[in-house]
Structure 1
């Protein structure tokens, strides 16, 4: 009888162990669901939205999460509905790339305390919202400095005797002016006499308008135009190519869009930010109520390798940009962040 009791006890113990292992396996195999709300300009902008989508799909592949990209013809006006519908659908994490969603997000997050949310480019104070802030002013300073170096050098193909550059923003807002102010500051750090033309397209998905605005700047004597207008920037880059001038890309490496006519691109690694948010979710490390910063120091902001133009730009100019980058990282140069000044 003692032997039989012993066997039964062992079998019960083994059964408990198996059940525990099965439970652990089940928990470990949980399939997280993540929604990404695409910003103005939509997918196919070859810039901001496409970069975020790349981070989403990479995370889906690496971590086995189920993902969904959500687009809208009027992502600004429908902001609250998009956020609320995603939360109701049971997504574990809802990320919005749309800057203007900060007000509706604050309301929706309060109504869905168990859902995790994240927003890029602005801070939202809520216990279940993670805010991601990029230091675009730092990267814009670098490309502005490079543009100033180039516009002074008539030995570079396409450069005229005027010291003039331009920048086109997608809308008049602090989030976009953050780029413009950094760009102008970088240019004037190199040469205070460089003239910086400014314009707004008031659209992130209108390449035709971008083309016309950039064309006008080139006709006024600008050698380089920085595009900060998402999909509208595709037209700005085309205008640079047609005029035999230079554009500066934004967010993604857009140098390939017009080889030899995109001087460089200011890289804003939205893909890294989206990927990191999902990684934190899966690892149980995504804390709401915090702000995550990405700048030159963190590797979230940078300048493209200039694959198609570095051979025509004097080496000392490229070395100068590297020097400025290090000075910003070390705090020796502090670039103005207009979004902080307004507070």
Structure 2
């Protein structure tokens, strides 16, 4: 079950820039995948899903490249797309930020877009980011609803302190349950961090970091095998994380915060076909423009995976009304 925006929510209009009309030529879209390309079960695959949908709707040529992750190779890949007259060029992941910062100046008539980053200050770069705090709020609210021990935890990176405070922790307290939120900032082993919050009494874990959840999930499965009574559950973020779930372990994954990267990719291509681009102000002082996707409009969804939480979907929908108002 997916918790989207409220049924009566109005999709707020964003700022659009009309791109000067050019000779009638077929749209050529360039995509620079991050390391691994398609099949990574993360941002590359989510982006590919949006591309596939767009190809069924619009007539355009597609050129795709995959980087090995080095700065030199990222620049080489983007330049190869420019040489092929791709416009727009969509870069998947923050790893391309420094490359686009330089090339956007060198090629001012090329429209670039970067997924999951808002650091490139250029009018011809569309930065696409997601309202992580809104998703964390729903994770905290939902975790508190089903906790049996009265303690829930968020595993995060140190730079995600605001997401914990304004999102996860706020969601826990909004549940009006006698539940204590815990945060563990990871700088080393995810396994150690997972064991520490479980040892502290947490029985629902929200993992906000990017990458594989396999370490965390492996600990949860092992601890549940030894545990009597209710299970320890996980709430993850897609496509930031990838995880292998079997029929025996899927019951431990209770919900997912889903960033609709596929929707963002589709929207960028749809606007390009109409010779437009997103120009919402993301950071006025820095001069960063693009689009922040949140609950309103379906840019962030909350997918319920447990029967217990499914029975509380009405309460979570109400919580979404509060979450969508949280500034990212």
Answer whether TM exceeds 0.5 for this pair. Answer: yes
Task: Give the corresponding residue for 1:13.
Answer: none
Count of aligned positions: 284
Q: Unpaired segments of 5 or more residues in structure 1?
A: 1-25, 155-160, 203-208, 338-343
| 1:169-195: CA deviation from partner (whole Å, max 9, x where unpaired) | 3x544xx55544422221233357513
| 1:185-240: CA deviation from partner (whole Å, max 9, x where unpaired) | 212333575131323367xxxxxx54554344334432122223343223323433
Q: 1:178 to 1:56 in 2, by over 3 A?
A: farther
Task: Give the corresponding residue for 1:200.
Answer: 186
Task: Give the corresponding residue for 2:268.
Answer: 277
Q: Unpaired segments of 5 or more residues in structure 2?
A: 1-22, 225-231, 280-287
Q: Which has more strand, going by share of residues? A: 2
SS in structure 2 at match of 1:166: strand
- 1:286 matches 2:277: yes
* Rounded Cα–Cα distance in structure 2 between residues aligned with 1:322 and 1:256: 28
SS in structure 1 at match of 2:275: coil
Task: Give the corresponding residue for 2:238.
Answer: 251
SS in structure 2 at match of 1:292: strand
* Alpha-carbon contact 2:140-2:168 (below 8 Å) kept: yes
Q: 1:31 to 1:285 in 2, by over 3 A?
A: closer
SS in structure 2 at match of 1:286: strand
* Rounded Cα–Cα distance in structure 1 between residues aligned with 2:42 and 2:182: 23
SS in structure 2 at match of 1:132: strand
Q: 1:278 to 1:272 in 2, by over 3 A?
A: same
| 1:39-60: CA deviation from partner (whole Å, max 9, x where unpaired) | 6x86544333321221123223
* Alpha-carbon contact 1:46-1:231 (below 8 Å) kept: no
TM-score after normalising by structure 2: 0.73
Highest Rg: 1 or 2?
1
- Quick one: higher RCO (CA 8 Å, sep 6+), 1 or 2? 2
Task: Give the corresponding residue for 1:96.
Answer: 91
* Rounded Cα–Cα distance in structure 1 between residues aligned with 2:145 and 2:88: 44
Q: Which has more helix, going by share of residues? A: 1
Structure 1 window deviating more from structure 2 (267-276 vs 237-246): it is: 237-246
SS in structure 2 at match of 1:126: coil
TM-score after normalising by structure 1: 0.70
Task: Give the corresponding residue for 1:265.
Answer: 256
